[in-house]
Amino acid sequence: MAQLSLFLVILLALVIPIFMARFQISNVPTAVAEIIVGIVMGSSGFNLITSTHDLTFLSNLGVILLMFLSGMEIDFDLLQRKNNPKGKSQAGKTVDPLKTAITAFIGIVVMAFVLAYILRLTGLFSEVMLAAIILMTVALGVVIATLKEKNILGRPIGQTILLTAVLGEVIPLLLLMIYASVNGGNAEQLWLIILLFAAAIFLLRRFKQPYLWFAKITKATTQLDIRLAFFLIFALVTVAERVGAENILGAFLAGMVMKLLEPSEATKDKLTSIGYGFFIPIFFIMTGVRLNLRSLFAHPSSLMLLPVLVIFLFIAKAPVVLTYMRYFQKKNAFAGGFLTATTITIVLPTLQVARKLHAITSTQSDAFILAAVIVCILSPIVFNSNFVLLPEDKIKEKVAIVGANAVTVPVAHDLHANWYSVKMFTDKKNQYKTYDSRVENLTFLPNLDEETLEKGGVFDGDIVVAANRADEDNIKIARMAKEKGVNRVIARLSEVDSKTLTEFNEKGIEVFNSTNVHAALMRAMIESPTVYRIMTDTKNILYSVKVKNTHYTGRQLMDLEFIDQITVSRIKRGDEWLIPRGATEIEPEDILVFSGEFKVADRVRDLLSKE
């Protein structure tokens, strides 16, 4: 029977995603589907799978890897204000994603404790701290997947939802660490938990340089990056257990340390494959197998707890909706609030800790799990049904061009509308009168000082092009744009001195010099007429795209379904330029330079750049 149970779990882990793909079930997270199937196959259903020693071991390893990968999902750059520049939201208001997310999460914390006290007063559940921790959690993995599917991760509302989810994963886990230490009889050793952080910092400093060296010497038979990851996991799990914390908290911290080491996309893919490809599905399926609905239905008090928990899990995120409505379109704010109600990935480890501490009964734990499953099914459905992609959400990059003249106006017209939203600014009255009827978004600025430029929205874009006729104006605008945190800054300069060029190179400001460009085009026309024709062709387009879609990584160029419709000219990998061949394998973060007809090239760029 034990061998049969193991076989069935492995079979279900394989069949469930295939079934979901075949019947296009995309609104329900795979983890929830695995729990539901586990319920059907376990003690609550056909009782075909039982909990064995091997399955328990694999399940425990699965939850450790789940927490490790959750820690790796934390993007520390997002928590730095300089990497969260203010932008215009869908409602046209200036929004600071970090500040908005913190405000929303403070509201969640307050509401979670209020609801936890209500549960205690009604006699449904007495552990206020534990209930509050569960009610304030957010499933970061589910949120990231949903935002990526909508392709709004880089937009103000996407960043705000993501940051709220980050806080909804990190803060509850830190509170759980304190709760577990106090209730586990280790309150006097609580200060020792600092060792976890000290160990993390030590490992980070100790292994940062060796890790870079590992990346150079690793090979298929050693996989040093993966060995280091598992060393971090078991080292910090051991430290966590020694100081009275839980092993899942050590695994989560190990994931954060691994993230700080800045692993390559290939390393992330391998770790994700190990976790979600084998161990984590076993944990989710076994969670469903162990869920005893018959016992839950036999206890009226626990059964009464179920609908209350479902309602409370939604109400706990009501402050998110109210906060978002101040900055975003109401319908999308409502949808975003519902998305943050997803809780499944953190609730399960939290309940596992609570059961070990005997802070919760098995029937109460089952009620919490079932409530989390119901909410995790409803939340993405409500989000996808209500969230509306506005034009600004579909636009990839916002371009601000300062200077309306014979060079910039044609560029503004020719930039691909599917990929760029262009706004043009000028401080010359005669230029404004000349081009106002020809340029859709042309704004007149009384002067080019910092306050006027910022008020006009010049620095709100992803790309700022300083293209006035006067070099001194362009130099000044380029410097200000970079100081304001604009991602790409391009300055048009007629004459380039070495001092300015060195400064701009250090700051990452790109220089456009018409003399050099004209010379390069003439050389291309003489030496490589085909390249020149591609660049000037009106029926074809030349693109460069960074490969982020892991569906296409690890595959040879000849195996791509669209390879016969495009021409790949070059591949940039790191600092090296590769000559593409049919057998060349695409790696994550490769930059492909290719050409093709507009419609085909658009589709290929969209496929390759989509995370």
- pLDDT band at residue 114 under the 50/70/90 scheme: very high
Six-digit token string for 546: 């960074």
- State mean pLDDT over 504-526: 80
**pLDDT higher than threshold 80 for residue 394:** no
- Which of helix, strand or coil describes residue 570? strand
**pLDDT higher than threshold 90 for residue 354:** no
Look at residues 223, 246, 268 and name the one whose alpha carbon lies nearest to residue 74: 268
Whole-number average pLDDT of the chain = 82
**pLDDT higher than threshold 80 for residue 496:** no
pLDDT given for residue 320 in this prediction:
94
- The neighbour count for residue 515, using CB atoms within 10 Å, is 11
Q: Express each pLDDT in 173-213 by its tens digit.
A: 888 877 877 776 655 555 565 666 666 666 666 666 666 66
Runs of H (alpha helix) within 419-466: 429-435, 450-456
**pLDDT higher than threshold 50 for residue 492:** yes
pLDDT given for residue 133 in this prediction:
93
Q: What is the DSSP-derived secondary structure letter of residue 556?
A: B
The three-point CA angle 302-291-74 to 5° equals 100
φ, ψ (nearest 5 deg) of residue 42? -95, -155
Give the containing element (helix H, strand E) for 490: strand 488-492
pLDDT given for residue 132 in this prediction:
94
395-512: CATH topology is Rossmann fold (3.40.50)
Q: Express each pLDDT in 560-605 by its tens digit.
A: 888 888 888 888 888 788 888 888 888 888 888 887 777 787 788 8
Q: Of the given ranges (52-61, 174-183, 444-453), which has the lowest mean pLDDT?
A: 174-183
Q: Of the given ranges (51-55, 114-118, 236-240, 282-286), which has the lowest mean pLDDT?
A: 236-240
The residue behind tokens 């017209």 is 413
- State mean pLDDT over 23-43: 86
- pLDDT band at residue 243 under the 50/70/90 scheme: low
Q: Which amino acid is at 286?
A: M
529-609: CATH topology is Alpha-Beta Plaits (3.30.70)
Of 30-34, 134-138, 540-544, the range with the highest mean pLDDT is 134-138
99's CB contacts (< 8 A; 6+ apart) are none
Six-digit token string for 25: 């079930």
As beta bridge partners, residue 87 has 95
Q: Express each pLDDT in 536-559 by its tens digit.
A: 665 666 778 888 887 788 788 888
Q: What is the DSSP-derived secondary structure letter of residue 554?
A: T
Higher-confidence residue of 514 and 328: namely 328
Look at residues 255, 245, 79 and name the one whose alpha carbon lies nearest to residue 178: 245
Q: Which amino acid is at 73?
A: E
- The whole-model pTM stands at 0.70
Q: Quick check: 88 and 461 in contact, CB under 8 A?
A: no
Q: Of the given ranges (128-137, 143-152, 386-395, 460-469), which has the lowest mean pLDDT?
A: 386-395
Helices 280-290 and 344-356: crossing angle in degrees, nearest 10, is 60
Q: What is the distance between the alpha carbons of residues 143 and 165, in angstroms, rounded to a whole number?
A: 7
What are the sequence ranges of the domains in the chain? 2-393, 395-512, 529-609
**pLDDT higher than threshold 50 for residue 91:** no
Tell me the CATH class for 2-393: mainly alpha
